[in-house]
Structure 1
């Protein structure tokens, strides 16, 4: 029995030492590249955060209302979203909310750029799906705190490791739902487009992606919710935002401050969820019309 325990300890040492050596190799060999990427991403994030934070409150509220109306064509929903965001401001967390929204927009945009093409790849190739699915299982199973360790080692403390850890945590649902949506497109429609001489790219762009759009939108919705779930964890490495309010409440034993931060996070989650769900519902309606 002791021999088995000793062997298990050696396996653990191999995994730990191998991982540390790999991260050190990346830092030494590609540190300049990581720094350049970090600076580029940080500039974009700071610009967006400054734009949201320095814009007049009424302008930001109007933009949110217009986006909600474009997604839902419902004045009631648009007004409700504006009131919800205004209420976050009344809690004294407007600046923190804008910081959180900026981080979320950047993280979700990166997730979309990465997730949709990979989802398309897994939908069109069973071999790629067999390789990528176990990786997605691993990404969704590993605790989110674990993502922060290599991110901090490669990029230091601050917003960038928080964004990248959020991307790793939030991208798998988008990949899976993109794959699922494309695979469930009616095969007769695909065959009809092929009979008319459409190329694979034309079928993907003109038939499969439009018909899979409701599933893709659901994936984006799930990505947004998982990204928002990371804001408190990301605040531990200097990401700021609403999550920092909750973290300070925890550190100071201030239940009231933690509650205010939690309410603000819930309101932001409702705003993002309702708008993305409405966009997905409209996409579903267009799909029925197309059929």
Structure 2
């Protein structure tokens, strides 16, 4: 076996070089679009005062989760401001949100397709296994070759790393819908598209939102790796702290990532069933609606049953 070696890495390098030489225009377009999205969202987050963004984040937390989370959001984001990390925190938040949106836009259709086609599922499964188990740092190498140093290679690596859970959980949610419910839709003459929109997606939404939650969490976990590729934000500060053994800077930047992660995790987890959180604004509105509907039915029942009771027992008439 001496001298025997399969040059897989060399083959991959040849493929990367071919893409770089022949698809340079497409790569430039992708780089421009991704840079525009991240920089545009960063500008939107940084243009108003930090107090405005904190209030908006707290309102979102109260609407979908609870007033307790709203207070926690104010305290957490206030701590980020107090540590003078607001600008890098918003840069990281913009990168994570853009990466998560792109990953979800790819993952949900793929998950639906995989749930409805066994051949697609058989092809996607090993690909997703490969994407999930490959070390995230490896994605940076071709991304940097294609797009250079900056936010774009970090964004591309983040999308690739965060994509698989969204596909898997979307497929799981669609396949987990009760078959009898789907058959009832067919029996009433609903078309496949109508069944998907009216039955499968609504019933699978909690599982799909769990996948979205995982996509966002994995995207945020890539913040440090994106910083190694030159993306601005808290990840870049962590990399700088590691290279200079700067403990305060590293701890503060890491804490900023944790605070953003907690906010995004709680909010996205609540989006799967926004009306079921009793302390949320949506939950309060839902509870106020139910007693009125139930009270009307309860009030009408005795009036409707009284004549029947009198007819059944003549003594009640006297």
In the alignment, structure 1 residue 20 sits paired with structure 2 residue 13: yes
Q: Which residue number in structure 2 is paired with residue 107 of structure 1?
A: 99
Once the two structures are superposed, residues 23-60 of structure 1 have per-residue CA deviations (whole angstroms, 9 ceiling, x without a partner) of 11111111011101211221121111111122211110
Q: Which residue number in structure 2 is paired with residue 258 of structure 1?
A: 250
Alignment of 1:110-125 (within 5 A): 110-125=102-117
SS for the counterpart of 2:272 is: helix
Q: 1:132 to 1:284 in 2, by over 3 A?
A: farther
Number of equivalences: 279
Root mean square deviation, CA, Å = 1.6
Alignment of 1:237-276 (within 5 A): 237-276=229-268
Once the two structures are superposed, residues 86-133 of structure 1 have per-residue CA deviations (whole angstroms, 9 ceiling, x without a partner) of 211111100000000000110000001000000001110111101001
CA distance in 2, matches of 1:222, 1:56: 30
Tell me which stretches of 4 or more aligned residues in structure 1 moved more than 4 Å.
283-286
Moved more, 195-204 or 52-61: 52-61
Question: What TM-score, normalized to structure 1?
Answer: 0.92
Instruction: Tell me, yes or no, if the aligned pair for 1:104 and 1:224 is still in contact at 8 Å.
Output: yes
CA distance in 1, matches of 2:69, 2:257: 19
Q: Which residue number in structure 2 is paired with residue 6 of structure 1?
A: 3
> Runs of 5+ in structure 2 lacking a partner?
278-282, 284-289, 291-318
CA distance in 1, matches of 2:29, 2:103: 20
CA distance in 2, matches of 1:118, 1:91: 41
Q: Which has the larger radius of gyration?
A: 2
Shift of 1:78: 1.6
Shift of 1:70: 2.6
Shift of 1:254: 1.1
Question: What TM-score, normalized to structure 2?
Answer: 0.85
Q: 1:159 to 1:283 in 2, by over 3 A?
A: farther
Q: Which residue number in structure 2 is paired with residue 57 of structure 1?
A: 50
In the alignment, structure 1 residue 69 sits paired with structure 2 residue 62: yes
Q: 1:153 to 1:24 in 2, by over 3 A?
A: same
Shift of 1:284: 7.2
Instruction: Tell me, yes or no, if the aligned pair for 2:226 and 2:235 is still in contact at 8 Å.
Output: yes
